[in-house]
Amino acid sequence: MFEYAPAPESRDIVDIKPSYGLFIDGEFADAEHSFKTVNPATEEVLAEVSEAGAADVDRAVAAARRAYDMVWSKMAGGERAKYLFRIARLIQERSRELAVLESIDNGKPIRESRDVDLPLVAAHFFYYAGWADKLEYAVADPRPLGVAGQVIPWNFPLLMLAWKIAPALACGNTVVLKPAETTPLTALAFADICRQADLPPGVVNIITGAGQTGRALVEHDGVDKVAFTGSTDVGRQIARSVAGTPKRLTLELGGKAANVVFDDAPLDQAVEGIVNGIFFNQGHVCCAGSRLLVQESIAEELLDRLKTRMATLRVGDPLDKNTDIGAINSAAQLNKIRMLSDIGEQEGATRWSPPCELPDRGFWFAPTLFTDVAQSHRIAQDEIFGPVLSVLTFRTPQEAVEKANNTPYGLSAGVWTDKGSRILWMAQRLRAGVVWANTFNKFDPASPFGGYKESGFGREGGRHGLEAYLR
């Protein structure tokens, strides 16, 4: 085991204010009630954030409607593109500040917020800026929908914001977006970027709050389109509330991806892919490779190598550039991970974690591996959304497909093999929106992303992502 001197990124670049208002019609204004956002690595209260009530949601939707009717839907696509390009460049210019802020509010390692989240956020705005004046090449007679009500989760706060806002604006819609209650700060920094970019007031409105606020937004009569990313349970509630209304809906929900390793796969590369698949972002990833399916003949060797690799993962300060696994985003999420892992043991699976010292304060969970897992176990079926990997074995490709598809979800999957023909054979049979081959967790704004079954419907990214925001 190597020892490294701590290499923390400086916090000086971010200026966290004691309190934040709602961003409506181009202005920040306090709401009647507020809540606290906490650094999950230290439990330090970072700021007091406004909680939008029904009247605030009304104001935000009205502002978005005015901006839609009077400015944004009338503007030529090429002009909208200029704003989006400006926003993309401002994100790049402020990327260090945004990455540090994201790691402080979310708990994810700076290595990831700096090298994955922020470059992808900027890339998303650049990509959709390019589409704004070419929409007729995507669909015939493209017309925007109106006001989009968008609700996002806490695992990739700024990236999920980009996935929602960039295509909506490119297509000529205006938005009211609600970030998750545990990670509001980068969305509020983004509001400041909208002002810096001179985006017309009301085109983007950011309202903070918890589930009640999200519910008031998606149920609001003035919203034409609902875009939700989050848990399957809440997605179901939203689908029920939107049913029978003229609102358009896209849902990006949970996942329980299989990462399938065949006996001809390059094992060291596969180990890196497995580690990236489940321990990236503490496993708080909807498309995480949380079920390892390994061919029986190589299971022992692969697991030996995987354990050796897991023992080198560094868990700790998210701002330290050496950190591989940061903090769990909230006490509630930590409890859920603990609860499901305890159930795994009770159901008879074998639990293993490398020796690993966890900080005294904050919310932490050691990287964990479960073997002797049966398909019926809850750790093989439920989304744990944490750094916990369940291992199952298979003998034939057919068995691998059956096991991989044996969950209510269908968001992503990974295949590791030397044979191109087998990759295609698997990809045709796996019920997953994204199938990665000999890699995992690769994202690109030009590539559509989305699920089957209980992972939701609709696609984000690429040309397909435009269809969700056009009539």
**Per CB under 6 A, does 254 bind ligand NAD?**
yes
**Which residue type is seen at 239?**
A
Coil, helix or strand at residue 142: coil
- When binding is defined by CB under 6 A, the residue of 26, 107, 184, 255 that contacts ligand NAD is 255
Judged by beta carbon, residue 25 or residue 181, the one nearer ligand NAD is: 181
Comparing CB distances to ligand NAD, the nearer of 172 and 209 is: 209
Alpha carbon 468 to its chain centroid, in Å, reads: 18
385 is an interface residue for ligand NAD by CB under 6 A: yes
For the chain, count helices (H), then strands (E).
16, 20
Half-sphere exposure of 48 (CA within 13 A, CB side): 7
Of 20, 126, 154, 364, the one binding ligand NAD (CB under 6 A) is 154
What's the token pair of residue 54? 């029904």
Element (H, E) at 56: helix 54-67
> How far, CA to CA in Å, does 46 sit from each of 11, 37, 114, 219, 277?
12, 6, 20, 30, 30
Query: Could you say whether residue 383 binds ligand NAD (CB under 6 A)?
Result: yes
Stretch that binds ligand NAD, among 30-38, 98-106, 214-222, 415-423 (CB under 6 A): 214-222
Pattern 180-199, ligand NAD, x by CB under 6 A: xx------------------
Shortest distance, CB of residue 336 to ligand NAD, whole angstroms?
A: 9
Distance CA 226, CA 160 (A): 14
The amino acid present at 147, given as its one-letter code, is V
Among 175, 257, 327, 411, binds ligand NAD (CB under 6 A): 411
E strand or H helix at 422, and its extent? helix 420-429
Specify the residue, 121 or 218, whose C-beta has the smaller distance to ligand NAD. 218
Contact between 218 and ligand NAD by CB under 6 A: the answer reads yes
Nearer to ligand NAD among residue 73 and residue 241 (C-beta): 241
- Tell me if 334 contacts ligand NAD by CB under 6 A: no
356 is catalytic: no
Look at the alpha carbons of 373, 377, 382, 388 in this order and tell me if their dihedral is positive or negative. Answer: negative
**Gyration radius of the chain over CA positions:** 22
Active site annotation includes 252: yes
Residue of the chain from 286, 388, 389, 423 that contacts ligand NAD (CB under 6 A): 286
Q: Which of 184, 185, 182 is nearest to 363 (CA)?
A: 182
Q: Minimum Å distance from CB 26 to ligand NAD?
A: 23
- Asked if residues 454 and 239 have their Cβ atoms less than 8 Å apart, the reply is no
Task: Specify burial of residue 438 (Cβ count, 10 A radius: 0-12, 13-18, 19+).
Answer: middle
Contact 37, 47 (CB under 8 A): yes
Nearer to ligand NAD, 408 or 420 (CB): 408
CB of 11 to ligand NAD, least distance (A): 25
With CB atoms as reference, the residue minimizing the distance to ligand NAD is 214
Q: Is 178 in the site for ligand NAD (CB under 6 A)?
A: yes
Closest C-alpha to 173, from 136, 206, 214, 132 = 132
Q: List beta partners, residue 27.
A: 24
> What distance in Å separates the CA atoms of residue 222 and residue 219, rounded to the nearest whole number?
9
289 binds ligand NAD per the rule CB under 6 A: no
Smallest gap from Cβ 411 to ligand NAD, in A, equals: 6
Binding mask 220-239 for ligand NAD (x = CB under 6 A): ---------xxx--x--xx-
Q: Is 253 in the site for ligand NAD (CB under 6 A)?
A: yes
174-178/27-29 β-pairing: unpaired
What's the closest the beta carbon of residue 385 comes to ligand NAD, in angstroms? 5
- Least distance (Å) between residue 142 CB and ligand NAD: 24
User: Is position 211 an interface residue for ligand NAD (rule: CB under 6 A)?
Assistant: yes
Instruction: Number of residues interacting with ligand NAD: please give it, by CB under 6 A.
Output: 30
Q: How many CB atoms lie within 10 A of CB 446?
A: 12
User: Choosing from 171, 286, 454, 467, which is the catalytic residue?
Assistant: 286
Q: Which is nearer to ligand NAD, 60 or 271 (CB)?
A: 60
Q: Are strands 204-206 and 33-38 parallel, antiparallel or unpaired?
A: unpaired
Nearer CB in complex with ligand NAD: 425/443: 443
**Which of 98, 121, 151, 168 is the binder for ligand NAD (CB under 6 A)?**
151
**164 touches 177 (CB < 8 A):** yes
Q: Of the ranges 95-103, 252-260, 310-318, 387-395, which one interacts with ligand NAD (CB under 6 A)?
A: 252-260
Which of 252, 320, 324, 382 lies at the binding interface for ligand NAD (CB under 6 A)? 252
In whole angstroms, what is the distance from residue 466 CA to residue 350 CA? 45
- Sheet-wide strand order for 291-295: 350-352, 368-371, 388-394, 291-295, 258-261, 412-416, 434-437
Catalytic entry in 51, 102, 112, 252? 252
Please give the Cα distance from 147 to 247 (Å, whole number).
10
Binding residues for ligand NAD, rule: CB under 6 A, are 151-155, 178, 180-181, 210-211, 214-215, 218, 229-231, 234, 237-238, 252-255, 286, 383, 385, 411, 451, 455-456
Residues annotated as catalytic (active site), given as ranges = 252, 286
